[in-house]
Copies of this chain bind each other. A is one copy, B any other.
Amino acid sequence: MTSTQAPTDLESYLEGTRDARLGSYADFLRFPSVSALPEHSDDCRRAAEWLADQLRAIGAEHVEVSETSAHPIVYGDWLGADGAPTAIVYGHYDVQPVDPLELWDSPPFEPVIKGERMLARGSADDKGHIHMHLRAAEALLATRGSLPLNLKFVFEGDEEASSPGLDAWLEAHARQLEADVAIISDTGFFEGNLPAITVALRGIVYAQIDVFGPPVDLHSGGYGGTVQNPANALAWILAGLKSPDGVVQIPGFYDDVVALTERDRAALADLPFDEEAYREAMGVLALVGEPDFSVLERRGARPTLDVNGLWGGFHGDGSKTIIPAHAHAKVSCRLVVDQDPGAIFDLLSAHVARIAPPGVRVEVQRLGDGRPSLTPIDHPATQAAARALEATFGRSPLYIREGGSIPICASFEETLGLPVVLLGFSQPDCHAHAPNEWMDLRNYETGIRTIARYWDELATSLG
Contact = CB atoms under 8 A, between A and B. Distances in A.
Interface in A300-341: 302-325, 327-330, 332, 334
Interface string A197-238: 000001010100000011111111111111111011111111
Contact of A215 (B97, B221, B283, B322): B283
Interface in A261-304: 278, 282-290, 295, 298-299, 302-304
For this complex, into which size category does the number of interface residues on chain A fall? 35 or more
25 contacts: A36-B317, A97-B316, A100-B217, A160-B320, A162-B319, A215-B283, A216-B436, A219-B433, A221-B405, A225-B290, A226-B289, A226-B403, A229-B307, A231-B310, A232-B238, A232-B305, A233-B244, A284-B359, A286-B358, A309-B324, A310-B311, A311-B312, A319-B332, A319-B368, A320-B433
A330 B307 contact: no
A224 B334 contact: yes
Question: Chain copies in the assembly?
Answer: 2
A309 B202 contact: no
B319 A222 contact: no
Contact of A225 (B214, B224, B246, B361): B246
B319 A308 contact: yes
Contacts of A252: none
A99 interface: yes
A283 to B, nearest CB: 4
B36 A318 contact: yes
B235 A307 contact: yes
Contacts of A284: 213-214, 227-228, 359
A46 interface: no
Nearest to A97: B320
A251 interface: no
B288 A310 contact: no
A317 B160 CA distance: 13
Contacts of A217: 100, 433-435
A250 interface: no
Contacts of A289: 225-227
A120 to B, nearest CB: 15
B304 A310 contact: no
Given A219-B434, A225-B289, A288-B358, 13 more contacts: A219-B404, A220-B334, A222-B299, A225-B246, A231-B329, A232-B306, A235-B307, A238-B239, A239-B240, A309-B312, A311-B315, A319-B367, A322-B434
Contacts of A307: 229, 231-232, 235, 312-313, 324, 327
A306 B224 contact: yes
Interface string A172-214: 0000000000000000000000000000001010100000011
B315 A231 contact: no
